[in-house]
Amino acid sequence: MYGQFLAKQNKERIKSLQQLTTTQNTWFAQNIALLTFEEVQLTTLQKMLYQVVQGLLRKNQQRHLQIVHPEQTQTVKENVLTLLAEYDDLLREAIPLPIYILIWQMTSLEKLAYTTEVVDDVLDVVEWYFAHQDGEVEVFEEEDLDYEEIIDLYKEAIEEKDAEAQFELGEYYSEDDAPFQPEKSIKWFELAALQGNADAQYVLGNYYFEGIGVTENYDRALSFYEAAAKQGHADAANNLADMYFNGEGVPENMVLAKQWFDFAAAHGVAEAMFTLGIMYEQGLGVTIDEEQAFLSYKKSAESGYVEAQYRLGGIYLEGQLGQIRDVNRGLYWYEKAAVQYHVDAFYDLGFIWSKGLTGIRNIEKGIHWFKQAALQGDPEAKLQLGHIYNKGEGIPRNVKEAKKWYELAVKAGIEEATILLEELEKL
């Protein structure tokens, strides 16, 4: 499906490039028409890359003109590689990193197994060449560029149809320290997914579910999650279960939801353990079972899932699900959740300490946790801080500080803070 979209998109890009190059470069205008997806040859693509590199050298340094003419004894591929190697420093100053890597990748190919995908990359290079080559280019250092590994991955992905290499390329284009290009990620993930790569199917499920680089599509997301889950992918199983649990893209089905949550939980997915806790506590698709609910929450919390840690803290503090009230354990799990920046845990810890619900009142701790919640945008925490400084219980009264927090609460939409602020303004 994405391959068809890519082919259609390439045709539209070729038409635009033909219009752009007609007046600027007759060679490109004539040869871009050769990029038909069924007939295009690798040599044709490499000729275009050669013209781009040669054009950049001609534009940036006239003294190289005598050298950049093709050697009659070399192939087009060898000519491009020669230019890239010989004028590496010069080209790095003229080409953005993603384009530079693409030229190396495509020039290094020896055979063409995926025409549409490679044409897409060639079009990236040519479009940049005609539309953006006069812009500022960020210079990159040799140690910052491990393009040999990326070239090898590209060759394996295209020539050998290696699903693992295709998945790794998809990951490369979605990494935080690389230019985020979701359309490139999707292209490679789709190729890997078509060959049954469960990791790629799972990631594509996320992309389609959240609308990352594609139009949000629950049907596609469900299909990819299901394909990956049936291969034993635990996170995909959890997400598939979520869709059945919430009725997202499919009718709500607690039986199937529990089936996949059980599978994911058995394979270590903490979020699935937590949701099973909810199902047992509320009797969703199962008979209410407080003991099983508690055990599910506890296992999830111990596995590091922040929502379970917060829920377990509340269970111990209030003595729920058959547990004896245990303030110390409750605080322990709230603090574990707070370490992971759970805003409700920040607020509750502030409330517990400021009100002395443990039997010991500690205003300073209360202020600390309320401030943490307020800094994360919690409006009620801002109101509580206003109260503490206004009333001066446990600390000296500080009207100036009270006004500050009430003002912040007003901006957050708390009506009570408006009244209290007006009263303070009259003092």
Cα-based distances in Å from 330 to 277, 306, 318, 357, 392: 17, 14, 8, 12, 28
Q: What is the pLDDT of residue 139?
A: 52
Statement: residue 410 has pLDDT above 80:
yes
Residue 336: band (very low, low, confident or very high) from pLDDT cuts 50, 70, 90: very high
Rounded to 5, what percent of the chain is helix, strand, coil? 70, 0, 30
* Residue 420: closest CA among 205, 404, 147: 404
* 335-342 mean pLDDT: 97
Rounded to two decimals, the pTM is 0.86
400-409 average pLDDT score: 94
What is the arithmetic mean of pLDDT over 292-298?
98
From residue 178, give the alpha-carbon distance in Å to each of 129, 146, 164, 173, 427.
21, 12, 19, 6, 57
pLDDT at 106: 92
> Does residue 226 register a pLDDT over 80?
yes
Percentage of residues of the chain with pLDDT beyond 90: 63
| pLDDT given for residue 140 in this prediction | 53
The contacts of residue 249 (CB under 8 Å, 6+ apart) are 218, 219, 221, 222, 243
179-219 per-position pLDDT tens digit: 567 888 999 999 999 999 999 999 999 999 999 989 999 99
Cα–Cα distance for residue pair 19/411, rounded to 1 Å:
53
Average pLDDT over residues 330-359: 95
Average pLDDT of the chain, as a whole number: 89
Does residue 426 or residue 371 have the better pLDDT? 371
In this predicted model, what pLDDT tens digit does every residue of 65-102 receive, in sequence order?
A: 445 455 555 788 888 888 888 888 888 888 888 888 89
Q: Is 92 within 8 Å of 139 (Cβ atoms)?
A: yes
Do the Cβ atoms of 412 and 379 come closer than 8 Å?
Answer: yes
With 60 as the cut, is the pLDDT of residue 62 above it? no
pLDDT tens for each residue of 115-165: 999 999 999 999 988 887 666 555 555 555 567 888 899 999 999 999 999
pLDDT at 28 over 80: yes
pLDDT at 65: 46
Token pair of 41, please? 């040859």
